[in-house]
């Protein structure tokens, strides 16, 4: 499962420039030592401009992203690995934790000294559409985690950056430069490397057809995820006209509520609520383990979303992009250690190439937000 936040969701209030690259001299002769010295100087200046509480919240939010999202991915895979079979259940728990975000939203009104955003017909319809797409997106990712190792699913899900950049350019007219195009090519190459190494990556209980379907559903889910990002930004641009902490939380809550409604309907039609009792009995570890996996899946996903929202508000999309890049290898490494995922040379190469693509995307996003672009 992926969060409903990305490059296009930066908030205007409280955002700061976190670009780590010092300007080059006209002669382009600055040494690496001078670069480090300048970077340290800027870091000290930034530290002094903000109170301790700000840095505490930023570290806490960053930690939430780096811990909660990988944990949510691993728990999704653990559900299927230990005997879970329903894709609807694992997609349902991804949005079942929406009250956690709502509990943070209500105090935010008092802190920000503002009122809830009025719900117009257009805004309500937009939330319904986004909720339906999010429900479909979660279901696609559930199929991916049912058939793919968690490390592979996480790597493939990173392709959402490609689609968010493309849809953002087509629908919202976001800027694209050479670095972002380079990132798209690099990440596409990383996905191709994984596809070529499917034989060493497939679980024995998963057929070749199921593995291919998991691969396809993961890519389709990433494409839909990129579309959701672009449409979410379009809602801000066309209907809301502002980006602040409580407004983004409102969108998270409303979209999650409607996604929860749609997945609940799917659960009812598929009779998965009735099947949860029998599934818990046959689950490896027993009923307690079954319920703990589902509960913590819901909690960790929402904590990751809250962390991402706070990072975007407190800092910038550049830092959020860095953290998003770091959590991909964290998820893969954790899956190898905790779940004994297969890790071949091709997957290590793909992981390295993906990280390179993330770096190019982050640099391109930072440059695009500061100056003219070339398309």
233-2-101-253 Cα dihedral, nearest 10 degrees: 40
From first to last of its 375 residues, the chain has per-residue pLDDT tens of 555 554 444 444 444 444 444 444 444 445 656 656 765 666 566 656 777 877 888 888 889 888 998 999 999 999 999 999 999 999 999 999 999 989 988 888 888 788 888 889 999 999 999 999 999 999 999 999 999 988 888 888 888 878 888 888 888 787 777 887 888 888 888 878 777 666 667 777 788 899 889 999 999 998 998 898 888 888 888 887 766 778 888 888 999 999 999 999 999 999 999 999 999 999 998 999 999 999 999 999 999 888 887 887 777 656 666 677 678 788 888 888 888 887 777 778 888 888 788 777 777 766 655 544 333
Cβ atoms of 345 and 175 closer than 8 Å: no
pLDDT of residue 214: 92
What DSSP character marks residue 236? I
pLDDT of residue 171: 86
Cβ atoms of 183 and 28 closer than 8 Å: no
What DSSP character marks residue 4? S
Instruction: Give the residue from 95, 74, 76 showing the smallest Cα distance to 302.
Output: 95
Measure Cα distances from 372 to 176, 178, 366, 369 in Å: 10, 12, 11, 8
Residue with tokens 């550049």: 318
End-to-end CA distance of the chain: 31
Predicted model pTM = 0.79
Structure tokens at 147: 């058939």
Instruction: Give the residue from 165, 158, 192 showing the smallest Cα distance to 180.
Output: 165
| Greatest C-alpha distance within the chain | 71
In degrees, to the nearest 5, what angle opens at C-alpha 232 toward C-alphas 3 and 18? 65
Cα(308)–Cα(47) distance, integer angstroms: 21
């Amino acid at each position: 499962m992926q969060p409903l936040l990305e490059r296009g969701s930066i908030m205007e209030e409280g955002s700061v420039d976190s670009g780590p690259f010092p300007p080059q001299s006209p002669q382009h002769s600055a040494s690496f030592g001078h670069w480090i010295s300048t970077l340290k100087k800027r870091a000290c200046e930034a530290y002094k401009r903000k109170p301790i509480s700000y840095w505490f919240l930023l570290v806490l939010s960053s930690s939430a992203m780096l811990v909660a999202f990988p944990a949510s991915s691993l728990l999704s895979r653990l559900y299927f690995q230990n005997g879970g079979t329903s894709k609807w259940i694992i997609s349902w728990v991804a949005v079942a934790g929406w009250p956690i975000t709502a509990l943070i939203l209500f105090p935010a009104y008092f802190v920000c000294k503002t009122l809830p955003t009025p719900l117009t017909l257009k805004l309500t319809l937009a939330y319904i559409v986004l909720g339906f797409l999010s429900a479909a997106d979660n279901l696609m990712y559930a199929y991916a985690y049912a058939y793919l190792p968690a490390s592979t699913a996480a790597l493939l899900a990173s392709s959402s950056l490609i689609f968010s950049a493309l849809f953002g350019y087509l629908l919202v007219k976001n800027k694209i430069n050479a670095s972002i195009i380079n990132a798209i090519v690099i990440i596409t190459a990383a996905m191709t490397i994984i596809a070529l190494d499917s034989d060493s990556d497939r679980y024995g209980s998963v057929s070749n057809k199921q593995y291919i379907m998991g691969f396809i559903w993961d890519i389709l889910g990433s494409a839909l995820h990129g579309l959701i990002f672009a449409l979410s930004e379009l809602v801000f641009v066309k209907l809301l006209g502002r980006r602040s902490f409580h407004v983004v939380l409102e969108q998270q809550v409303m979209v999650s509520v409607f996604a929860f409604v749609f997945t609940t309907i799917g659960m009812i039609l598929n009779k998965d609520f009735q099947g949860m009792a029998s599934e818990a009995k046959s689950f490896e570890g027993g009923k307690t383990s079954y319920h703990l996996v589902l509960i913590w899946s819901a909690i960790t996903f929402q904590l990751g979303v809250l962390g991402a929202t706070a990072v975007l508000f407190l800092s910038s999309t550049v830092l959020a992009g860095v953290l998003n890049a770091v959590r991909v290898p964290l998820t893969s490494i954790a899956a190898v250690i905790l779940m004994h995922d297969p890790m071949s040379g091709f997957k290590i190469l793909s992981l390295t190439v993906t990280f390179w693509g993330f770096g190019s995307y982050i640099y391109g996003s930072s440059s695009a937000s500061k100056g003219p672009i070339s398309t």
